[in-house]
Structure 1
Amino acid sequence: MEVKNDAVKILVVDDEESLREICKDALVDEGYQVLQAEDGREALSILAANDDIDLIVSDLRMPVMNGLELLEKIKEVNLDIDFLVMTGFATIETAVECMKMGAADYLPKPFNINHLLVKVSKVVKARRAKQERKRLSNIVRMLNLSNALNAQLDLKSICYEFVLQVQRNFSPESAVLFIQKDQGNSLGKAVVRGRLFREDPDFFARVQKLAQDSLENGSSYLLDKTRAQELAMFSGQEFPYSMLVVPLFSRMKKVGVIVLIRRDTQLFTNDDLQLLSVFAAHVATAIQNAKMYTRMRDQNIDIIRSYAKAVEAKDYYTKGHSERVAVYAIKLGSYLKLDTKELEALYTSGVLHDIGKIGIPDHILNKPSRLDEEEFEVMKSHPSIARDILSQVWSLKHTLPVVYHHHERIDGKGYPDGIMNGQIPFLAKVISVVDAFEAMTSDRAYRRALDWEKARDILLQGSGTQWESDLVDRWVKLVSEIGFDNIQNDTQDNTLHFHRSH
């Protein structure tokens, strides 16, 4: 994902004002947002007021609080901020100490300003790459969670499965899931894991009180030994922990609270809090729907569609594309008299066929003209990215061959594997035809939508080389029978009908 420099915020910390100004001017010229502090203490104040700082460029030797002390404070509270050290004391020992403390890089003084820019660019690029990997990893985690929850039909199983997934993804020492009781507003413990909550009833009672407050106020908490002292139930008490407290809400209804705790030697982060909040939203819905077994499949499909929309949100011109491909695939599959299982596989594959584009840079995905050869090679990687994502979700493994091979050609000139007609999965060939049809008859960044006659002619020209002849003939016949305008306008109604009847 391409990120502009103006989205990157840098804090320059140095007691020498002239050097700060030089650094600021150079970084601003490169498009970065820049804040300044004259020592570590002022830097901490700025960090308290700004939670979106990406990088600190700091001198080591400063009054009040030096660079190493600032770095130590940042690591102590586990802030996700990269740190670039500047120092006039360029010794190997100092460099090693900084790197052991978690500094991203080291810049000896005096330095050429271009050297600073190169170092900053290197750190920023590494940060972006790390964030992108984390984003893709989180998508996989959410898909796995959704799949695991939807495999359970009763409340007890959902609660145990959710806590199991939380343990796998966050590695807490102890965890407790509270569920809102049917009568009244009090919380009851649904699942408790770990010895801490079991062995210290008084501590557990205070945690339950905090969970109740969290649910009543709709507030999440990320606590450490300092922040916990601000709360009445922990004030004056020893708190050698790191704790996450997240309320569960579904459609504005109170459902419960999840609490995770570790020793303070391994602190939770804001990223952990955000991801747990997403997990909480998923399980809240699952809990609310636990007794409505017939609605579980609809919930699963809605979650799958949300991932496709995450891709489409990156590209205005493909809004609704995956949903329409899925519905067209069902229409063609029904026309071919495929069974219910195959139709469901077609729908899921249609919704997910472009999920790999979430890993394609925006400047390629949204380019208003044809892609050059190098850009097209990047675009061709999206089936492989989709395979990597979906292969980690066991219930979606049946869609892997369809999604992975939907850009193959009958003549073997497609991608990613260049396989030929007999080797291409049948459902992938179905998706290929309707995907091409939808793309041709919709607006794109580089051209307007084609009319039915032009799209039909292109399909017929590619029959037997790009697409399977029989499928092209069947699709052209179906569209001709239904009518081009009708088949476009009927997508939403058919989606709803598919949900109700399957």
Structure 2
Amino acid sequence: MDISNETVKILVVDDEESLREICRDALKDEGYNVLQAGDGQQALEVVSANKDVDVIISDLRMPVMNGLELLEKIKEKQLDIDFLIMTGFATIETAVECMKKGAADYLPKPFNINHLLVKVSKVIRDRTAKLERNRLSNIVRMLNLSNALNAQLDLKSICYEFVLQVQRNFSPDSAVLFTRADGKSNLTKSVIRGRLFREDPEFFARVQRLAQESLNESKSYLLDKYTARQLPMFADQEFPYSLMVVPLFSQQNRVGAVVLLRKDSSLFSNDDLQLLSVFAAHVATAIQNAKMYTRMRDQNIDIIRSYAKAVEAKDYYTKGHSERVAVYAVKLGSYLKLDSKELDALYTAGVLHDIGKIGIPDHILNKPDKLSDEEFEVMKSHPVIARDILSQVWSLKETLPVVFHHHERVDGKGYPEGISNGQIPGLAKIISVVDAFEAMTSDRAYRKALPWEKARDILLSGKGSQWESDLVDSWVDLLNRDGFENIQKDMQTMPLRTSQR
């Protein structure tokens, strides 16, 4: 993930207006978006009105609310904001206390303005790296969730496995999964874990009403003792909890809702709510498919397609690219008379072939002109990133070599390993041909789509060096037989491979 200075929002908190102004001017000169507050209480109000604050630079001693109290409030609310403390009372004890409470760094007064900029730059770099690690970690968690769900063959097992997974990933004190029976509108309890819901039936009934409201209104909730008071069903009672409610939807079908609750422990965060929403989307698909199919394998593609969309969300011009590559690959595989298992593997590899680009910085992925040699080396790392992600999921072990080697060339000049024709997996060579063709016939940030005839000619000129000759000839024969326009139309109606059985 790449974070430019223009996208970074910094809040400077100090009761000395002149110092705030000096910091603001210096930070603005570096391109940062800068806000100001005169004390900790004002800072909380600014943060409440600006949900995207990345860094707070705060004095330690201030009236109304000091810097440490502000830091504690930020941590208590579990806001994803890095904290840089500055103070004129530069003692080791103060620094240790700040770091123990979660400060990212410590800046003693008086300081040189360049020292401030160096500190801020380091905090931003560390923040960028942390966000990237979290994003890749979440992808692995989602893939592991999919793997766990895919191993279950019936609705009851899926529900129990899902609740087990959310317990492992979110550590709630209690959890409950509500589902809807076909043709019914009301939610019923499917799985419940923890004592809190069992010991207070009246409270559980209120939670169930909130879950029903969440599903009916397609709205998620993140509640604590302050925000719960705004809801009528909790306004008349104490609420010493942190609670998340997320509805379950699958292709516009209202499936159910999941509720997680903590008592007397750390609060759930907005990041938790977002990740739980992704988990909920996956289990909703699993539940729906479990009602339609006897084996969970039949819903695998619906789940893994969401990972390709996570990549495509970074780049508007590649929207739908992975899906088209998957369909083209199956078309070519069918023309070559591959069996059903190989066609399924081709489709899965086509959907996942670019998943490693989730780890490529946005400024490289979306660059509107030719990449530099250094940038291209970074881009070439995406098969390795894909391998690191997919290797976490045992059910994709057969797909992994196809994804990893889809940029190899038959003359050995490809990447990531530079292997030649006889060493490249056959399915990877198929993906390579259709991936190149799809990329050439689609708009990109750096150029408009080429006519399909031009793309065909480029493939023909590269056969035997970049691509296997027989595969290029077969793809060209298929284009000539069916017509490029007709193949594109088939994209709209072609069913998922796993639902063709």
Pair in the same fold by TM > 0.5? yes
Q: Aligned residue for 1:99?
A: 99
The answer to whether the aligner puts 1:350 opposite 2:346 as a matched pair is no
User: Which consecutive unaligned segments of at least 5 residues does structure 2 have?
Assistant: none
Identical columns (%):
78
Other-structure match for 2:494: 495
Aligned residues: 501
Between the aligned partners of 1:320 and 1:299, the Cα distance in structure 2 is 19
Moved more, 323-332 or 397-406: 323-332
Partner of 1:87: 87
Q: Deviation of residue 72 (structure 1)?
A: 1.3
Residue identity in the other structure for 2:106: Y
Q: What are the residue-to-residue correspondences of 1:239-258 with 2, within 5 Å?
A: 239-250=239-250, 254-258=254-258
Q: Indicate conservation of the 8 Å contact 1:328/1:491, yes or no.
A: no
Distance 1:70 1:368 in 2: 42
Whether contact under 8 Å (2:153, 2:295) holds in the other structure is no
8 Å CA contact 1:246–1:257 kept in 2: the answer is yes
Contact 1:354 1:386 in 2 (8 A): yes
Could you tell which deviates more after superposition, 355-364 or 199-208? 199-208
8 Å contact from structure 2 (residues 176, 193) kept in 1? yes
Instruction: Rate the CA distance shift 1:232–1:434 in 2: closer, same or farther, 3 A.
Output: closer
Q: What is the rounded CA distance, in whole Å, between the counterparts of 1:93 and 1:410 in structure 2?
A: 63
1:207–1:414 Cα change, 3 Å: same
1:430 aligns with 2:430: yes
Q: Structure 1, residues 339-358: CA drift from partner, whole Å, max 9, x if none?
A: 01101111111121111112
Q: What secondary structure, in the 3-state scheme, does the structure 1 residue paired with 2:415 have?
A: coil
Shift of 1:421: 2.3
1:20 aligned partner: 20
| Residues 432 and 224 (structure 1), Cα distance of their counterparts in 2 relative to 1, 3 Å cut | same
**Compared with structure 1, are the counterparts of its residues 493 and 79 closer, same or farther at alpha carbon in structure 2 (3 Å cutoff)?**
closer
Match of 1:164 in 2: 164
Task: Find the residue that maps to 2:58 and give its secondary structure.
Answer: strand
3-state SS of paired residue (2:175): strand
Q: Give the aligned residue type for 1:311.
A: V
Scaled by the length of structure 1, the TM-score of the pair is 0.90
Q: Which AA in structure 1 matches 2:429?
A: K
Equivalence for 1:131: 131
Q: What are the residue-to-residue correspondences of 1:378-393 with 2, within 5 Å?
A: 378-393=378-393
Alpha-carbon distance between aligned partners in 2 of 1:485 and 1:285, rounded to the nearest angstrom: 32
Change (3 A) 1:107 1:497: closer
- 1:373 is aligned to 373
What is the aligned partner in structure 2 of residue 410 from structure 1? 410
Whether the 8 Å CA contact 1:242–1:267 is kept in 2: the answer is yes
SS at match of 2:257: strand
Amino acid at match of 1:125: R
The alpha-carbon deviation at position 71 of structure 1 amounts to 0.9
- After superposition, the C-alpha distances for 1:127-184 in whole angstroms (9 at most, x for unaligned) are 1221222222223333333444355453312211211221121122221112346686
Aligned equivalent of 1:335: 335
Larger CA deviation: 450-459 vs 173-182: 450-459
Equivalence for 1:277: 277
Indicate the larger mover: 271-280 or 216-225: 216-225
Distance of aligned partners of 1:229 and 1:100 in 2 relative to their CA distance in 1, 3 Å threshold: same
Are 2:354 and 2:382, in contact at CA under 8 Å, matched by a contact in 1? Answer: yes
The residue matched to 2:290 in structure 1 has which SS? coil
> Which shifted more, 211-220 or 68-77?
211-220
Structure 2 counterpart SS, 1:80 = coil
C-alpha change, 1:367 and 1:238, in structure 2 (3 Å) is closer
Q: For residues 267 and 497 of structure 1, do their structure 2 counterparts lie closer, same or farther at Cα, with a shift above 3 Å needed?
A: closer
Cα RMSD (Å) of the superposition? Answer: 2.8
> Is the CA contact 1:13–1:43 (under 8 Å) kept in the aligned structure 2?
yes
* Cα distance, 1:424–1:165 mapped onto 2, change above 3 Å: same
- Give the residue type in structure 1 aligned to 2:424: I
Q: Which stretch has the larger CA shift, 348-357 or 410-419?
A: 410-419
Q: Distance in 1 between matches of 2:183 and 2:17?
A: 63
- Counting only pairs closer than 5 Å after superposition, residues 168-247 of structure 1 correspond to structure 2 as 168-180=168-180, 185-231=185-231, 234=234, 239-247=239-247
**Are the equivalent residues in 2 in contact too, given 1:327–1:494 (CA < 8 A)?**
no
Q: 1:256 to 1:453 in 2, by over 3 A?
A: closer
1:205–1:104 CA distance, 2 compared to 1 (3 A) = same
Point out the more displaced range, 258-267 or 84-93.
258-267
Q: If the length of structure 2 is used for normalisation, what is the TM-score?
A: 0.90
- Report 1:38-49 matches (<5 A): 38-49=38-49
Q: Deviations over 1:49-74 (max 9, x none)?
A: 33221111100011111111111122
- In the alignment, the residues of structure 1 paired with residue 397 and residue 159 of structure 2 have an alpha-carbon distance, to the nearest angstrom, of 25
